[in-house]
Amino acid sequence: MRVLLLMAATSALCAQPPIDPAGVLVRARNALAERDKHLPDYTCVQTVDRFYFERPLKHYPPPTCDEIRAHGSRGLMLESHDRLRLEIKVSHGIEIGSWKGSRFTSRDIFDLVGGGPYGTGTLGAFISDVFINGGTTYQYLGQQILGGSQALAYNFQVPLSASHYLVRSDPGWTAIPFSGSFWLDRDSLDLRRITEHAIGLPPETDACEADTTVDYQVMQVGSGAFLLPRRSTLHLVMQNETQTESTAVYTGCHEYHAESTIRFDVASSGAESKPAAAHLAPLPEGLRLILVLTAPIDTRTAAAGDILRAKIRKPVRDPKTKAILIPAGASVQGRIVQMRHWLTRPQRFVISILLEKVDIGGVSRPLYARLYREYRSANIILPPPGRSPLVGVFPLPTENSYYRISRGYESDWVTVAPPSPQRRVGASNP
């Protein structure tokens, strides 16, 4: 019986029509282009976990990029891990990012994340640069098993003259050539995975190579089904022998509606609206605020970009008139802007928070405040590079794999003058 089943399966395989690699690629490209033409503006929540690896025993003299690649990951140890949670809007292949739940602005997404490894294009121009690009060349590799099913594998090369792969360094953005592979579903010809490999990066990036892998799935957006990323990974090998790996997962993708997405968490008010926060005078400087968390922060799930909510523990009074400026129980909204776990000694979690607004009498107004510390007796802890000087940093020593700040945790802040506009500091990594 086993022999008969094997012969039947072999006959079925032999009966499959031969693959026309060029014809298959044309059909797949046309389908991708047709879907892209009808794809509406949409948003996805992007959760990014970034892992930072270092080499405790570095080589001397400093090795070249070729030597670093030859060493691979041998001798590397995990130094730290952080997490970001963003909302990405895609319109005509262009990506715009914001913290989850915040409004979309013209701010550069690399400035928003405040440094560290981060890549864009997986939701926007990634596919078109590989498939809808007259300068790309292809090589058919044959049929392979991917995720338990048959896929058609291809290699590709994108020369510098046709590349839109940009890396960021101090002088600006630089285009580089790249290569990689992709896999098409054997039956539907849907794109299943793309890998991209880039070496010879400009020395100013401090990087030797960048590898990206994106897994795709068909998802419902609006009234149609479209091919969108499910998960992507960016691996960077740096000139100082460190390496980073960033994994992004995309969830909650839906059609973009401006009237419901760009609002800044301000409830609609009907015919008689309350004064807009932007038109209210800032609170006086020097007011002490005791904030009490109204929900816990759990490092296993929390991420930079998450909204933090607290309340005022006791009334805040005008120092001159003694009038109550902020009543006890008033709601305060802040945002986590860093969630990092350091595994090197001293082991610790570092959570950085920026306050955003306070609700007084049902009206939200901007809140500018910094952590209150008596610097004669306390260590000075600076905000992360590229962040507002008002960011409050909370180092939490622990050797555990997670940390939980309980509901009711209190922190002491003091109001300051609104910061003056300043030049933003961008990320240095591609």
Whether 374 and 249 share a structural domain: no
Same domain, 191 and 293: no
**Percent of the chain as helix, strand, coil, to the nearest 5:** 15, 45, 40
Q: Are strands 331-342 and 307-312 parallel, antiparallel or unpaired?
A: antiparallel
Note the pLDDT of residue 427: 34
One domain, residues 140 and 217: yes
Q: Would you state the pLDDT for residue 149?
A: 92
Tell me whether residue 99 is in a domain. Answer: yes
Do the domain assignments include residue 3? Answer: no
**Both 27 and 124 in a single domain?**
yes
> Is residue 14 a part of any domain in this protein?
no
State the maximum Cα–Cα separation within the chain, in Å, rounded to a whole number: 96
227, 261, 295: which is the final residue of a domain? Answer: 261
Q: Are residues 203 and 317 part of one domain?
A: no
Looking at this protein, which amino acid is placed at residue 155?
N
- 340 and 242 in a common domain: no
**Residue 342 belongs to what domain range?**
280-415
Question: What pLDDT shows up at residue 375?
Answer: 52
Q: What is the CATH number of the domain that holds 284?
A: 2.40.128.260
State the pLDDT at residue 49: 97
2 part of a folded domain: no
In this structure, are 200 and 325 located in the same domain? no
Q: Residue 154 in contact with residue 139, Cβ under 8 Å?
A: yes
CATH code for the domain in which residue 186 is found: 2.50.20
Strands (E), 186-242: 191-199, 207-221, 224-238
Assigned domain for 273 exists: no
C-alpha 399 chain-centroid distance: 27
**pTM confidence score:** 0.85
| Boundary-marking domain end, from 201, 232, 261 | 261
Tell me how far apart the alpha carbons of residues 345 and 362 are, in angstroms, rounded to a whole number.
46
Which parts of the chain have pLDDT scores under 50?
1-14, 259-275, 277-278, 422-430
- Same domain (yes/no): 26, 92: yes
Asked if 43 and 87 touch (Cβ cutoff 8 Å), the reply is yes
Task: Give me the number of domains the chain comprises.
Answer: 2
Considering the domain architecture, whether residues 343 and 250 belong to the same structural domain is answered as: no
Q: Tell me which of 209, 226, 261 is where a domain ends.
A: 261
Do 253 and 284 belong together in one domain? no
Residue 144 shares a structural domain with residue 177: yes
Q: Which pLDDT does position 25 carry in this prediction?
A: 95
Collapsing DSSP states into helix, strand and coil, what is residue 31?
helix
**Residue 91 contacts residue 106 (beta carbons within 8 Å):** no
Q: Tell me whether residue 43 is in a domain.
A: yes
Q: Measure the CA–CA gap between 186 and 143, rounded to whole angstroms.
A: 8
In a domain, 426, yes or no: no
Residue 1 lies in a domain: no
pLDDT of residue 9: 36
Q: Could you tell me the end-to-end alpha-carbon distance of the chain, in angstroms, rounded to an integer?
A: 58
Q: What is the DSSP letter of 205?
A: G
User: Which phi and psi (to 5°) does residue 347 adopt?
Assistant: -65, 140
Do 159 and 25 belong together in one domain? yes
